[in-house]
Amino acid sequence: MNRLVHILLMSIVAALLVGCGGSHDARVTAELDRTDSLLRTSDTAAHSAALRQMLALDTARALQADEALRARHALLLVQARYKCYVTEPADSGLMEIARNYYAVHHSSAQDHEFYTRTLIYSGCVAEELGHPQQAMQYYLEAEDTADPNDHFNLGYIRMHIGAVLQDQRGASEEAINYYKLALPDFERIDNYHYQIFCNREIGALYKLHDSDSALYFINVAEILANLHGTDYDRFTIKEVLSSIYFNQHEYRMCLKALSGIINDSVQDFMNTRICSFAAQSYARLGIIDSARFIIAQCPPPETCEDSIDVLLMLAETAKAEKDYKKFIALNDSAEIKANRVLKASESAKMVRMQREFERLENELRESQYKNRIGLLVFLAVALLLLILLIIRHWKQDKKKWQSLVTELYENRNELEDNHTDLLAATKKHEALRTLLVQHFKLMDELIKLGDSNPNSKLSQQLKDQISATYSDKNFVTEMRNFVSMHADETLTDFLASCDKILSETENNIVTLTACGFSSPEIALLTNQKDASYIRVVRHRISKKLNLDSPLEQYLSAHFKL
């Protein structure tokens, strides 16, 4: 019975021990999960909290009881230390525990990711302890092991491979390629912290042989840092940018890039490298006071590289001061020499100017004399040409005047002859007109007497006179021309035409007389001879009773035309 009770008590104690141990393992697992979630962020404060949590965790019993928990604890502890920039030699032993476990137990997705991360931080520890070749082996093995869809770990691995190659001589191109391979992975998961880091390191690698590419990647990193980065990110970018400008001997641009760092507001980020760039740039620009101020602000060196930077800064500043003093001395001596030379040159210049003035004055006189001679020659030639032109035109005008005078005399003689002929013709015409007027008046009287007494002797004489008149060839020709114009008319129409012509003739005579024309001129203009012929014909025709007979038939029968 006692033995049974003892066994029962032992079972209860064992059950209690197992229950307590299981609950403790669950608590440790939960703490490790929280630490893991903190370490997956890019916040340095979260990393510090994760390290404090790992150091405060009492895991002695759990680590002794569970190999998986011990491996995970080792991985997260080393990861937390590395994130907080704390690496100890014992970390290599912890990572060996994790590697030995996850190398065998990585069938699940979570354990596979832990195995990849174990290889990554094994490489990080080896790199921090000064074993880059061993670190490279771990990184390459991690790259082969990582899930292709795990972009964070892939980018992180390639970034660390680039960092290892960056420290090796002659491997800068390979380092650039690995940094470029890491960028797309970080871009897919929007991890701006590591994008900034990769772009900055690519720019730092390019600065020695391709300044344009270096500036491009540094500018990309600066844009990302201004949008999503921290003050430290912006500081490191300005440090690389200033080194690029310093290597290109663009010291003002270097100081411009460092302008946000070397003031009082961000002196927490001041280091010997920044001070070295700033002081050397000021010294090479000849701004000695600013270089001394930067040297006074420089923190004490901590590494050999810091000491080299300080020595370069001091040497460059001392050289600049020496050059400045030498320049001042040379400037003083040069100023004295310049004053002497200036005085000598001024006296020589005055003599030279006086000689030059005399030479110019002589040239001016010669030029004025030549100009006067040329002007006189020009005026003489112009006057001679003008005289020749006047003589030529005078000769031509003389010939024209002579020809015009001759022509005028000829025209005058011709006009006098024409005037004489015209006067003779006028007198002749006037006499003829007078004679014709008297003749036709007499004929009209005779016609009236003959009509009143047709059988008288006077009527017979009148008929004979008319027959004699009609037998005249000129009269017959005129009558034929007049009749041919009215051959188709009846006697009545012909008489009307005769009346119209006689009326127009009388009106013209009245008008011309009123205008002051002489009788001979009026007789010529009105053609009174034709009017007399028409008057005779009309008088004879109007005595006939048959006025509807054709004119031509009547004239042919009675006047024998």
End-to-end CA distance of the chain: 206
Residue 207: count of CB within 10 angstroms of its CB: 22
539 falls within a domain: yes
543 falls within a domain: yes
- Per-residue tens of pLDDT for the chain, all 561 residues: 444 333 333 333 333 333 444 455 677 788 888 888 888 887 788 888 988 888 887 656 556 657 888 888 888 999 899 888 888 888 888 899 889 998 888 778 888 898 999 999 999 999 988 899 999 999 999 999 988 998 999 999 999 999 999 888 888 899 999 999 999 999 999 898 889 999 999 988 888 788 888 889 989 988 998 888 888 888 788 888 888 888 778 878 877 777 766 654 445 556 777 777 777 777 777 777 777 777 777 777 777 766 777 777 777 777 777 776 766 766 666 677 777 777 777 778 888 888 888 888 888 888 888 888 988 999 999 999 999 989 988 888 888 888 888 888 888 788 778 778 777 766 765 665 565 555 555 555 655 555 555 555 655 655 565 555 545 455 545 555 555 555 555 656 666 666 676 677 777 677 767 666 666 666 655 555 555 555 555 555 555 434 444 544 544 444 443
438 falls within a domain: no
Amino acid found at 486? H
Give the pLDDT of residue 412: 78
97 falls within a domain: no
249 falls within a domain: no
Amino acid found at 517? F
223 falls within a domain: no
User: What gap in Å lies between CA 196 and CA 183, rounded to an integer?
Assistant: 9
Query: Into how many domains does the chain fold?
Result: 1
Give the pLDDT of residue 437: 53
546 falls within a domain: yes
User: What gap in Å lies between CA 41 and CA 256, rounded to an integer?
Assistant: 33
- Structural domain that includes position 550: 472-558
- Dihedral angle at the C-alpha atoms of 502, 503, 509, 511, nearest 10 degrees? -160
503 falls within a domain: yes
Give the pLDDT of residue 430: 63
Give the pLDDT of residue 542: 54
Find, among 258, 224, 229, the residue nearest to 241 by Cα: 258
Give the largest Cα separation in the chain, rounded: 227
Give the pLDDT of residue 15: 37
Pull the structure tokens for residue 263: 């003031």
**Global pTM value:** 0.52
Give the pLDDT of residue 431: 61
